[in-house]
Every structure is written in C-alpha cells, then in structure tokens.
Amino acid sequence: MISMIQLDKLIDVKVLQNIQDSFSDTTKISAITVKYNGEPITKPSNFTNFCNMIRKDKKMASMCHKCDAYGGVQSAISGKPHIYKCHAGLYDFAVPIMIEDNYVGAILCGQVKIKDKEDERIGNFGRDTNWSCNKEIHNAYKEIKIKTYKEVEDAANLIYQMSKYMVDSEFLRVVREELNNKSTKLMEEENKRIELERDLKEAELKSLHNQINSHFMFNSINTIANMARLEKAYKTEEFVYNFADMIRYSLRKDNSNTVYLEDELAYIENYLKIQKTRFGNRLEYTLDVDENFYNIKCPYMILQPIIENFIKYVVEPRIHGGKIDITAYKENKKFILDICDNGDGIDKNKIKSILEGIEYIKNKNCIGLYNINKRLTYLYGDEYQLQIHSPNEKDKGTLVRITLPMDKEVIYV
C-alpha cells in the first residue's frame, strides 16, 4: 500500500499551477496551494494589492499566516471547503486536499468582499487589523472586488471538485504503478498479489464515485502541524494528548464489549476538548458524574454517537453553537445517565422512528442511537432501553437518558 505520499510528489505542480491560474483568472479570486504544513507549492495567483501591502508588515503578515493555518485546519477537520473572514476584513476559503482520509494540503483562496452581509454565518477569525489609517492601503482596499456569498461558495465547490478529481486520478495512477512493480517482484506470493488488487479496486471505486470521505480521527492527527503554527505548543500539546488517549481507547476494545464508566467518560471528555478547539465559545459542556459511579460497567462507545449528534445537529448549524450537560444519579437500584442539550429538539414521531430502527432502514448511516438502544436491551433487557425526550421547541433541547443496572450481572460478549 502507498504510504507517506507528499502532494508535490504526487501531482504535476506545473499542471496544478495552470489550473489554479485559470481558476483565479475566471473567478477573479486569489489562490495559492500549500502542503499540509502550510508550505506553498504553487505561486500566488492574482493576489490583491491590498493583501500584498498588508503582508509587508511583519505583524500583519503573521496574522495572515495564522488565518491561512486556521482555514486549513477547519477544512481538514470538516473535509470540505471552509469559508471564513480574515483579520483584515476580507473573506477567504480553504479547500482541503485529501488522500484516503489523510490531509495532505489545501488550496487557499479569497481576498474578496462580500455584499450579502453574511458575517454572522461565516464568522470572523479575529479582530480586524487596524490598517485604515494608511491611505495607500485604504485605497487598495477600495479596489477589491465585491462578490455575493453564493459566488464565493460556488467558486469554493468548483476548485474543490477540480482538485479532488486531479488528486484522485493521480493517486490511482500511482497505485497502479506500485501494484505492477510489486506484482513483478512478488509473483509467487499469491496473498500479497490479491491484497494489492483489492487495494487497486478500492482506489478505483473511490475515484469513480468521488467519495474519499474525511473522518474526524484521521483528519485531526494531520492538522497537528498546522495547529502548531497557531500557538506556542501549550494548546497543541493538550490537543495531542487528548487525541492520543482517544486513539488508545478506541483501538483497545471491540465495540460490543463493556467498559468501566470512568474510561467511557474520559474518552468523551477528550472528544469534547478537541471539538472545543474547533468551535471555541460556540461549544459549552459540563460533566457532572460522581466518582462513586466510575466502576459501573457500561457498553463500549455508548456515549460517542450521542455527543456526535449534538455536535452535528446543535453546534454546527447554529451561529451561537450549543451546550450539553452530562449528569448522573442513582434511582431504584438503577444508574441513570442524562445527556441534555439546548438545541431545537426532535419531533416525537422522529424519536419513535429512530428507536424502532425505521430511520436506520431508510438510511444506513443513521445507526447511532438505534444501535445504542439495541445494545442496551440486548445486554440488560427491555426495561433498560434508551429514552429520548424533547418538547421539539427552539432552544428547549433534547434529553437522552441511559439506564444501567447496579445490582445484577450483565452479559459480557
């Protein structure tokens, strides 16, 4: 299998430069392509006079680099184009370049004004840089093209699809070359030949359907280098430790086993800390579980789908983000774990559809909550099925309740 692929070694940089220049000339949007660590591999295309002037100042240039790194991090985590407002008040977007769920680089574009007044939706990287007192820079700012948010979004999707097709095609070619070389050398080793053929078929299928999907775990580890540019090691160190703990936990057991609640909560806290790095003040959470409950056994990874749904349906789509509280208590010899958010809730019919598996039948990706419910009832019985309560009103939230036994043995599978 191919390993340690570098973007500038995989694709023809001259061809990429031509594509980038053509894109920039057509859309009137500046562009540059960088490796995973932020190092440019192409020359800038149509950078504005304003940005060139801004970058001559060391302090403002440093802010520009932080903005670029921020955009690359966010696009790597989400696996899709990320639009944001830079420190100087212009709008940029980062397009991730992924190879088999690994972040290898990004195309950084933008340097435009947006007339839609969508600041709240796009967000702001930080306080605007105080450059308006410089007449020359101020005049250069006036020359910058004004676009609609839709135009910027369409441009981001266009260059994303173009780069994805190019990288997929080149990756497939490299896979084929490696397959041929190894097949020639290891003809007598039938198992290795079969494995290489399978890798090739998988790569062809991914390229055909254009579906190299990002994954939180693998993307996060590839953003560490970029995050180091944003801060002087302290937060990055914590991020790395949290993520390393998550990896160790996720690899040590099969998801049908039971674990101690203490370990499950530690995993979730690490997950939330990492998401906190991504969303900042838009994400709030509390973990209020007495240590006396830490030795209770619970199904492995039972909390992760619930917290992931909170991130996906409460934090991501809302400008002000959301809050989730995890509390625990004992009731009638049963252990109760409540997970409550402040989102807009779920319709009663939808809750019923989720727990009965109807949503899973409709969409095989909707397995999280249904899977939790099936595992709880299988291990402990119907009286321990998952409970979901919601008034289905704006900001009134959803309560997900997990009930576990405290006075009997559970099934270990």
Length of the chain: 413
| Beta bridge partners of residue 401, listed in sequence order | 338, 387
Rounded Cα distance, 183 and 195, in Å? 10
Each residue of 325-337: pLDDT tens digit?
999 999 988 999 9
Neighbour tally for 97: CB within 10 Å: 26
* pLDDT band, very low/low/confident/very high, at 192 (cuts 50, 70, 90): low
Opening angle at CA 27, ends 129 and 68, nearest 5: 35
* pLDDT band, very low/low/confident/very high, at 132 (cuts 50, 70, 90): low
Rounded Cα distance, 177 and 171, in Å? 10
Q: What is the mean pLDDT of the chain?
A: 78
Neighbour tally for 48: CB within 10 Å: 20
Task: Give the sheet arrangement for strand 322-331, strand by strand.
Answer: 283-288, 322-331, 334-341, 399-405, 387-389
Residue 57: the pLDDT is 84
H-run or E-run covering 154: helix 149-185
At 216, list the tokens.
């939180």
Rounded Cα distance, 219 and 159, in Å? 20
Each residue of 55-73: pLDDT tens digit?
888 888 888 888 888 888 8
Over 70: is that where the pLDDT of 11 sits?
Answer: yes
End-to-end CA distance of the chain: 34
At 138, list the tokens.
């101020």
Contact 369, 353 (CB under 8 A): no
Decide yes or no: CATH 3.40.50.1820 for domain 252-405.
no
Q: What is the mean pLDDT of residues 228-232?
A: 58
Opening angle at CA 106, ends 52 and 320, nearest 5: 90
For the chain, give every domain's residue range.
7-168, 252-405
* pLDDT band, very low/low/confident/very high, at 248 (cuts 50, 70, 90): low
- Which among 50, 57, 62 has a CA at the least distance from the CA of 89? 50
What are the strands, taking DSSP E only, across 134-221?
146-147
Residue with tokens 């979730």: 268
pTM for the model: 0.45
Q: What is the CA radius of gyration of the chain?
A: 24
Decide yes or no: CATH 3.40.190.10 for domain 7-168.
no
Over 80: is that where the pLDDT of 12 sits?
Answer: no
